[in-house]
Chain A
Amino acid sequence: MTFDVPEDRRYLESHEWAHETNGVVRVGITEFAQDELGDVVFVELPDEGDSVTQEAEFGVIESIKAVSDLYAPAGGEIVSVNEALFDSPELVNDDPFGEGWMLEIDADDTDELEALLSAEEYEDQIA
């Protein structure tokens, strides 16, 4: 099975993606990650206004069979949380790179993203 790895974003080894627009970084998990987890039933996310640092835990995702921590690809203030996931956590399975997004972070330093994996590097990791 091959998994989609969009080239317009960067990746953590722990399978989160980061997509930056004007200093705001949108965060989710990859198609590979949602497939490994299976049916997502619960997502625990921080509140808007909370701060995160790069590679620190920001939340938890639970599928029927497993629990997994979520790690922030960038540091900054959380400016938006995808509340749709609270009622419809399956969006993470259905559309991990789109409607299944989790957070938007107003990044302290977008240069931090340079440290993450490129699409090509992430693809090698999951191959």
Chain B
Amino acid sequence: MPLQTPPLRGIHDERGAKFTEFGGWDMPVEFDSIRTEHAAVREDAGIFDVSHMGQIHVTGPDATALMQRLTTNDVTRLDVGNAQYAAITDEDGVVIDDTVIYRLPDEDGDETYLFVPNAGTDEATHERWVSHRNGWDLEATVDNRTDEYAMFAVQGPNAADLVDAVTEEPVTELDRFEATDAAVDGVDCWVARTGYTGEDGFELLVPEAEAERVWSLYDCQPCGLGARDTLRIEAGLVLAGQEFDHESNPRTPYEIGIGFTVDLETEFVGRDALARATEAGHEEQLVGFQLIDRGVPRHGYDITNTDGRVVGTVTSGTMSPSLEQPIGLGYVPTEYAEPGTTLQVVVRGQSKKTRVETTPFIETV
């Protein structure tokens, strides 16, 4: 299958970006260097093309009921312009995907949502929504709009000034996880104070045809998926396909450490299994860690206890550009999850002393 390309593939190529396959998309991984891009976002501002993220639009008399039954959080708490982080779980409470749900202005008097599934999952997610809508006989329109939008993230301590300067509406008045329709240099966009870096910033949904115009408005460092990964690891944020995978790494929200997205007072697919899980407790959980010895942890490396017995697995790891220390995320039995616990990560056959740390690793907004 040919890779999907973001609308600005050619612009990024001209700018000298390197590309990588991610979730079936050919995305910029690095424009200058991960270190440079990472530092720009921590100290100033950077812009990411995240058009690989999906967009599913849901409206109609039963839109709220459908969203409520397929996501773990309580969408009835959303007013127009609110955003919510949620998980999508199966009957067993296993996470299929994580997503951000935006409540858009009502359409034809009906509550309306747009949510953002991960790269490459938009078709399956759309299908899931449609088949459950049909099965439950709900009245809602479910539209996969992934191809209609470019999505950009402007992130960093100076992001608010950059976004505000070119947007008619006073976007600096938005709180975290608030969003609004806004005219960005005359282009109708959806501007949300959300992100995936641990910094202040905005994510913009831009009509595909206007992508280039909006991208070029922001005079800041272009950043690729490489820096996006180091930034989100430092912020302790999980990535679908790394920290969880429905087939190869099935996890409940509690194991992943995103139990705060689960509202058991609501009715959703997986609710009963998760209610049982809260009583039974979980055996493993995701922790952050830092290597004390020299070496870089990577996805798939073994984690052992101090006796050398394999007790867990690294899901993400890197040399943290901000801390200049090797850090990572991984699953360990709960008895090893306490910050300060000494473990080992096996790097090419050698055991490297490792300490469990609290996440986020850095100060975040």
Residues of A within 8 A of B (CB): 1, 38-39, 41-42, 44, 60, 62, 64-65, 67, 86, 93
Contacts and interface: CB of A to CB of B under 8 A. Distances in A.
B34 A65 contact: yes
A65 B16 contact: no
29 contacts: A1-B16, A38-B30, A38-B34, A38-B226, A39-B34, A39-B321, A41-B296, A41-B319, A42-B294, A42-B295, A42-B296, A42-B319, A42-B326, A44-B348, A60-B348, A62-B296, A62-B319, A64-B230, A64-B318, A64-B319, A64-B321, A65-B29, A65-B30, A65-B226, A65-B229, A65-B318, A67-B298, A86-B294, A93-B33
Cβ-closest 5 pairs across A and B:
A41-B319, A39-B35, A64-B34, A62-B296, A65-B226
Q: How large is the interface on B (under 10, 10 to 19, 20 to 34, 35 or more residues)?
A: 10 to 19
B345 to A, nearest CB: 13
Interface of B: prevailing SS:
mixed
Contacts of B318: 64-65
Contacts of B30: 38, 65
Interface in B71-116: none
Contacts of A64: 34-35, 226, 230, 318-319, 321
B335 to A, nearest CB: 31
Nearest to A60: B348
A64 B33 CA distance: 10
Nearest to A89: B319
Contacts of A1: 16
Interface in B223-238: 226, 229-230
